[in-house]
Structure 1
Amino acid sequence: MTYRLNDKAYYNNRELSWLRFNYRVIEEAADVNNPLLEKLKFLAITSSNLDEFFMVRVAGLKDQVKMNYHEPDTKTQMTPQEQLEGISRLNRQNSTIQYEYYHRLMRELEEYDIYLKRPDELPEDLQNEVESIFDTEIFPSLTPLGIDAYRPFPKLMNKKINIFVNLSNKLGEQTAIVQVPTVIRRYFELTDGRNTYFVLAEDIIEKHISKLFGGYEIERTFPFRITRNADLTIHEEGAADLLIEIERFLKERTKGAAVRLEIDISKNDSTKGSFLRSELGLSEQDVYKFDAPLDLTFLFGLTSDLKDRFPHLAYPPFTPQEPALLSGKNIYDRALEKDIFFHHPFESFHPIVDFMREAAEDPNVLAIKQTLYRVSSDSPIIEALKNAAENGKQVTVLVELKARFDEENNVQWAKELEDAGCHVIYGMNYLKTHSKITLVVKRVGDKLVRYVHLGTGNYNDSTAKLYTDMGIITTDEDIGNDAINFFNYLSGYSLKPDYRALHVAPFEIRDLFAEYIDKEIEFHKENGKGYIFAKMNSLTDKKIINKLLQASQEGIKVDLVIRGICCLKPGIEGVSDNIRVISIVGRFLEHSRIYYFNHNGEEKMFLSSADMMTRNMIKRVEILFPIKDPLITEEIRSISRLYLQDNLKARIQKEDGSYEYVENEFEPISAQVELMRRAERHGREQLVQKENQLLMKVRNRFRRRN
């Protein structure tokens, strides 16, 4: 059969697909199923997402243009300049809608006597209080920066708010910039006894800025913000110590070229920003003007401050439950009996922490080996590893120093672990180690048992409450042997091992996917029943996309649940009409990666740290691991079917690459809400079971006494 694969109309551009994902996040601010404070929080998430997108993806495209690189991308045949133009158009549409929702939601907040105001909009006594705040808390840390022949344009910090000032006296006009210091709060809270008011720091500074420029008239002020290129190169080759090189890189990153200029025009709607644009080397395409505050990430703090006072305006609290397959048993004892499945945040991350803490304390544990990519700021995992080393155990930790925007954090953890006596390695040349694996070697009776935890998400107890991830703990011998070989490969010098059960990138995971899709096609030709399910964060790899298109053209049904970027266009007649692409954006960040192939009923189920992205499968050390227990396979299949039934939070991609909310025959259902309900039902059942067991013990004691 001749497949239809190479027309650019079959693909979505990666960057524009990401912006469509960010629009889906914006849409959550208008979803009637979300409480008011959560809607505002989604606007903050959108802004945070967009900052990183500009610092990395847009910055990379701008670098290509500067270097006169005009080669089109391999899927949609767009040059770097065409992609930048497309990004500018689509992001302006997104930003307009984002700020429309912002204004609407702030008006809704006023119904609860909560106001975001400028100083001169406050009651008079509160205006005096704001002036006192300026004089005592803000003014001492301000530094006005004049700009003239003796004082060149300053190197302004990435993502920080600044205030541009035009001023004059009898000698003429001058220009200055006042940076909003990072040491002060972004907003201040005041009350008149009935109403709660929030005032932004930049508005307070603007109001009283004349105190910084005695003898001058203030002609005009406006806040602005710069986003800089953070996608600089880490020089791994020839580095004597990667940790030292990372520290150098972190200093350099603060000096990256400007890639975006944002201007608040709410007080001066005629502001052009031409002087700033010229000084920063930006084009009009790089300038975004908003009739509202810049950097809506301040809403993270604002909504957090209000949740305790207005709990009905936030999501109802949810407590992660004990994993169903643990059943109240000790995690090591249970793992000897059968594999244990974890589904966070519906099931608690605490058993993973306990797994590490017990290993650190147990005299029968000889060695612990673990990969760390992103961990929390006060990580119990780190503490357990340090404790284990201090207890004399062999502890090996791979800390990935190149985890973007976590480099500084990971440098600090690496130093602490080394000081505690752990053997710390930093990864591999030109590859990021993104795999999530822990090996605990423990003496049980007269033999050594290898306990292995494998997961789709980081060893981060904070994000485990917010991200959906899956994992297993197993004592399977093949996986245990593979884990030993994997860590020896990372820490020493050897050729890549031949793994028995695990599949390890670079290359091997992509090769396996291609092979399994080909096998699914063969099975389907013989018996029908072809089916592929995959859930991931992003799909970009052209080789895998082409294989999925081939499967569709052979009549195989393909269901893809992809949160973010999807470079495959589904629903094109004769090309991808057997492929369905669903995106779910909800209370929790969808982060688990599931890969399933029907194989004529033989059912091959895998979980992985890797997406079907070229960077994951070629430029990272990732692990794809099989689910061998049929009960766990069926549990994951049940969860997968639930995602496909979602008609409250799920959007389906249309043939043109846009998305619309799913409409299906099911009763209104949110997969995440249903998974929370299932977990809570199991938790109640567990509680009843424990109470009955306790009651039975009491009765038995009573009988023995009598």
Structure 2
Amino acid sequence: MNDTTTPALPPPLDREQGIIAFNRRVLTLAESESVPLLERLRYITIVASNLDELFEIRVAELKEIASSNSPLAAGARHSIGNLAASARELVERQYRVLKHDLLPALREEGVQIFFPADWTEPLRAWAHEVFMREIEPLLTPIALDPAHPFPRISSKTLNFAVELDGRDAFGRRPGLAIVQAPRVLPQAFRVPPEVTGVPHGILLLSSVIKGFMNELFPGLTVKSQCSFRLTRNSDLFVDEEEMTNLRSALSDELGQRPWGHGVRLEMTADTGSEVSERLRKEFDLDEDDCYFVDGSVNLGRYTKVIELVERPDLLFPPFTPSQPASLQKKDLFSVIAAGDVLLHHPYESFHPVMDFLRSAARDPQVVSIKQTIYRTGADSVLMESLMEAARAGKEVTVVLELMARFDEETNINWAAKLEEVGVHVVYGVVGHKTHAKLALVLRREPEGLRRYAHLGTGNYHPRTARLYEDFGLFTANEEICSDVHEVFRRLTGLGTAGGLKALLQAPFRLHGTILQAIQRETEAAQAGRKARIIAKMNALLEERIIEALYEASCAGVQIDLIVRGVCALRPGIPGLSENIRVSSVVGRFLEHSRIYYFWGDGKEPLWLASADWMERNFFRRVEVAFPLRDSTLKRRVLEEGLLNYLQPDTAAWHMDSAGNYRLGGELLSPEHDAQQRLLRKLTGRD
């Protein structure tokens, strides 16, 4: 097809509905009998956590637009209504799977969560002791009357609304009381087998409080009780024009996060109409913002159940990540100097990355270390290595992204610790999150100073490196290392953007270079030459990229897009995107790497990157895409990171032109699962 006249473009698929669709795919794993039971439960909690973030960030943003005078207000209200209907359907499915599938299946395996209706006398006595010893001293019931106004409810906390009857010691006739469960309380308790008669008995905090609610109101009658949970707007706002110190401004803003405007109210199904209406009005919410659930509010707390149940056979089989033989040598720098080294996590160990920084901290020849940090966790070996290097007198610079969503407090704490030992801590560029994954070591050698770099698609986070699929590259290539140095110079200092020889950086050349690469494939197809595009990412939303892909498809370019999450492009539309295929792989590991591959008249340029194809990544973040120069490594990424997922029998979700997904292949089947293929290949695991 050589006619490149693009027909009228269809409207892009809705971002919020794309998020819902992704969580439907995740929930399918919770329904699959091929997934171990406790892992199925974990997928329930993952969906719950994803929905929390959807409401506290995206729905909160839509609500602000809907209540404004913006011309977008009507569209925002429409999106909120559609989203509420889709979210309600997803929530009902979550609870149905939990109640009718997972809890009965767990009981058959000797794992039982005991709700008050199931309590025997011995279990009630045990629960009462726990209540009196560990819970009751921390509870402050508040009866609502003119002297006791409705308490301030923190976001995403467990609360109870209790209807009471009778008179108290002062002769007052209470009506409604509120009981808040402090966050410091355990979310679940392991019960001894001799008490329950089952090997693995669990009590949820909500059940224990509910079971002994009457003890909080002596002399009164508890007529009814329900639990509820309020989700508030959790986005942070920092006025860049008024701000003089990002860390100080952000610290002040974090204190307000739990108290933003309400956006969602979850209530147990036994909530009476008068109580639910009182709560709804108290939080200034619409009926569409209220969710009545058939079970405990906040399914995320079942994560604690997974931790308490010691049944490895109900989890994914463990595996030991492999490590390239070359990296097992003591002198890591000589290995990197001899040639680039590629790591594919989690199949290959993240330890070499930690060893790289640990070696740099302890090597007397290393004089300088620079690193970007987006997410790393509250307990990080890498950060300890950076502090060790600073104590040893090395020049250490960390570009720490304070605005990494929901990791802001952790990163602020690290900033203080790093500065205490003399690390130069900077926060990148205001208005542009530093999302690039870079580390640079400068070492004094006989020939002079030499640079060594690590570049990755994922965070410097040892825990998530065992769960997220990502690539990382060690290199001493002077061109790449020089570019990494230049990126750090831009982040820590001032000056115009100089030309980079190898790297693509957002917000400068990344977007334009990708458009040019798509255009070259389009022109090749028009000229009758071979043309091919394969790209993998977490999300595809940027309009100009989508339009360019449509034009390439019209020219006959064969395009495969592996998009784990939200994709606004519509594949398979005759005359527009019939040469585009979109698939999504959801499995044991979170597909997280970003790979851009083009045929390029046989040169096959391939970049690994930190950036999804989204407007924010191209224009409001500092991102880096780096090329693979070694043909062997390039072929390996092509085969492991792209073609492995495109095999005809691979279990993947395939998107149609309406945005619906159809599953092809059997989930987690050894024959069809792309991740299991890589496990067998890279770890030797059967």
TM-score tier after normalising by the smaller chain length: over 0.9
| Contact 1:70 1:81 survives alignment (8 Å) | no
Paired residues of 1:646 and 1:669 also in contact (CA < 8 A): no
1:427-506 superposed matches below 5 A: 427-506=428-507
How many Å apart are 1:115 and its aligned residue?
Answer: 1.5
Of all paired residues, the percent bearing the same amino acid is 38
The 1:422/1:646 distance shift into structure 2, 3 A limit, reads farther
Shift of 1:313: 1.1
Q: Distance in 1 between matches of 2:328 and 2:561?
A: 32
Query: Aligned residue for 1:257?
Result: 261
Q: Secondary structure at the match of 2:398?
A: strand
After TM superposition, list the pairs within 5 Å mapping 1:520-539 onto structure 2. 520-539=521-540
1:364 aligned partner, one-letter code: Q
For the pair 1:245 / 2:227, whether they are aligned, the reply is no
Q: Structure 1 stretch 53-62 or stretch 199-208: which is displaced more? A: 199-208
| Alpha-carbon distance change, 169 to 586 in structure 1, aligned in 2, over 3 angstroms | same
Q: Which residue is equivalent to 1:113?
A: 110
In the other structure, the counterpart of 1:159 is 156
Match of 1:651 in 2: 653
- In the alignment, which residue of structure 2 is the partner of 1:208? 212
Q: Distance in 2 between matches of 1:278 and 1:436?
A: 46
C-alpha distance in 2 between matches for 1:661 and 1:145? 50
Q: Aligned letter for 2:353?
A: I
Paired residues of 1:399 and 1:424 also in contact (CA < 8 A): yes
**Matched residue type, 2:673:** S
Q: SS state of the match for residue 651, structure 1?
A: strand
2:143 corresponds, among 138, 143, 146, to 146
Contact 1:586 1:649 in 2 (8 A): no
CA positional deviation for 1:113: 2.3
| Aligned partner (choices 130, 134, 147) of residue 133 of structure 1 | 130
Q: Is the 8 A contact 1:457 1:591 kept in 2?
A: yes
- Taking the aligned partners of 2:567 and 2:329, their CA distance within structure 1 comes to 40
Once the two structures are superposed, the pairs formed by residues 262-661 of structure 1 within 5 Å of their partners are 262-265=266-269, 267-268=270-271, 273-306=276-309, 309-323=310-324, 326=327, 328=329, 330-639=331-640, 640-645=642-647, 647=649, 649-661=651-663
Quick one: structure 1 residues 389 and 197, their matched pair in 2 at CA, closer, same or farther if it must change by over 3 Å? same
Q: Is the 8 A contact 1:261 1:277 kept in 2?
A: yes
Q: Secondary structure of 1:403's partner?
A: coil
Paired with 1:6 and 1:262, the residues of 2 have a C-alpha distance of 42
State the Cα distance separating 1:197 from its structure 2 match: 2.4
CA distance in structure 1 between the aligned counterparts of 2:650 and 2:216, rounded to whole angstroms: 53
Aligned counterparts of 1:172 and 1:618: Cα–Cα separation in 2: 60
For the residue of structure 1 that corresponds to 2:527, the secondary structure is: helix
Q: CA shift at 1:232, angstroms?
A: 2.9
Corresponding residue for 1:698?
none
Single out whichever of 450-459 and 295-304 deviates more from structure 2. Answer: 295-304
Q: What is the distance in 2 between the residues matched to 1:41 and 1:576?
A: 36
**CA deviation map 1:131-154 (0-9, x unaligned):** 111111111000012222222222
Could you tell me how far apart the structure 1 residues matched to 2:541 and 2:474 are? 30
Q: Distance in 1 between matches of 2:464 and 2:298?
A: 23
Whole-angstrom distance in 1 between the partners of 2:216 and 2:542: 55
- 1:299-348 CA deviation, whole Å, 9 max, x = no partner? 21211222xx3222111101111036647573211111111101110000
Q: Once the two structures are superposed, what CA deviation does each residue of 1:365-389 show, in whole Å capped at 9, x if it has no partner?
A: 1111110010022111101111111
| 1:297 counterpart SS class | helix
Alignment of 1:671-682 (within 5 A): 671-681=674-684
What is the distance in 2 between the residues matched to 1:274 and 1:129? 36
Who is 2:181 aligned against?
180
Q: CA deviation at 1:2?
A: 5.5
Q: Distance in 2 between matches of 1:326 and 1:418?
A: 32
Deviations along 1:516-559, one digit per CA (max 9) or x if unpaired, are: 10011112222432110100000010010111111111111110
CA contact (8 A) 1:236 1:245 kept: no
Give the distance between the partners of 1:107 and 1:449, measured in 2 at CA: 61
- More deviation in 139-148 or 617-626? 139-148
Q: Secondary structure at the match of 1:357?
A: helix
User: Could you tell me which residue of structure 2 aligns to residue 190 of structure 1?
Assistant: 191
Shift of 1:269: 7.0
Distance in 2 (CA, whole Å) between partners of 1:369 and 1:634 is 30
Is the 2:56–2:263 Cα contact (8 Å) retained in structure 1? Answer: yes
State the distance in 2 between where 1:329 and 1:641 align: 34
Distance 1:260 1:429 in 2: 31
Match of 1:95 in 2: 91
Q: Classify the secondary structure of the residue corresponding to 2:470.
A: strand
Deviations 1:48-104 (A, max 9, x none): 1111111100000001011132428xxxxx811111011111111111111111111
What is the CA-CA distance between 1:498 and the residue it aligns to? 1.1
Asked whether the equivalents of residues 360 and 391 of structure 1 are also in contact (C-alpha less than 8 Å), the reply is yes
2:279 partner amino acid: L
Quick check: 2:377–2:410 contact (8 Å CA) kept in 1?
no
Q: Deviations over 1:191-229 (max 9, x none)?
A: 343313222212221221122222322111000000000
Instruction: Specify the code of the residue in structure 2 equivalent to 1:675.
Output: L
**SS of residue paired to 1:79:** helix
Write the letter of the residue equivalent to 2:266: E
Give yes or no for the alignment of 1:223 onto 2:220: no
Q: Is the 8 A contact 1:516 1:597 kept in 2?
A: yes
Please identify, of 622-631 and 481-490, the stretch whose mean Cα deviation from structure 2 is larger: 481-490
Query: C-alpha distance in 1, partners of 2:175/2:557?
Result: 69
- The letter of the residue matching 1:544 is I
Q: 1:360 to 1:553 in 2, by over 3 A?
A: same
Distance 1:562 1:269 in 2: 43
CA distance in 2, matches of 1:489, 1:192: 60
Residue 239 of structure 2 corresponds to which residue in structure 1?
A: 235
Give the drift of 1:155: 1.3
Asked whether the equivalents of residues 526 and 556 of structure 2 are also in contact (C-alpha less than 8 Å), the reply is no
Taking a change above 3 Å as real, the CA distance of residues 97 and 451 of structure 1, as seen in their structure-2 partners, is: same
Change (3 A) 1:618 1:364: same
Per-residue displacement from partner, 1:232-277 (whole Å, max 9, x unpaired)? 3112333222111111010121210000000011x45767611100
The separation in 2 between residues aligned to 1:542 and 1:37, in whole angstroms, is: 40
2:41 is the counterpart of 1:40 = yes
Q: Is the 8 A contact 2:670 2:676 kept in 1?
A: no
> Given that residues 70 and 80 in structure 1 are in contact (C-alpha distance below 8 angstroms), is that contact kept between their aligned partners in structure 2?
no
Alignment-mate amino acid for residue 175 of structure 1 = L
The question of whether the paired residues in 2 share the 8 Å contact of 1:646 and 1:670 is answered with: no
Cα 1:272–1:540 shift into 2, 3 Å: farther
Is there any run of 5+ residues in structure 2 with no aligned partner, and where?
none
- How far apart in 2 are the matches of 1:384 and 1:594? 30
> Does the CA-based 8 Å contact 2:165-2:223 persist in structure 1?
yes
Question: Aligned pair in 2 of structure 1 residues 284, 22: CA closer, same or farther (>3 Å)?
Answer: same
Q: How many residues align?
A: 673
1:451-500 per-residue CA deviation (whole Å, 9 max, x = no partner) reads 11110011111110110110111111111111121111111111112111
CA RMSD of aligned residues (A): 1.9
Residues 602-642 of structure 1: per-residue CA shift (max 9 Å, x gap): 10000000000101111000001111111011001111111
Task: Give the secondary-structure state (helix, strand or coil) at the position aligned to 1:581.
Answer: strand
2: distance between equivalents of 1:290 and 1:231?
25
Does structure 1 conserve the Cα–Cα contact (< 8 Å) formed by 2:144 and 2:174? no
Deviates more, 1:200-209 or 1:288-297: 200-209
Which deviations, in whole Å up to 9, do the C-alpha atoms of 1:400-435 show, x marking residues without a partner? 111110000000101111111111101111110000
In the superposition, the TM-score normalised over structure 1's length comes to 0.92
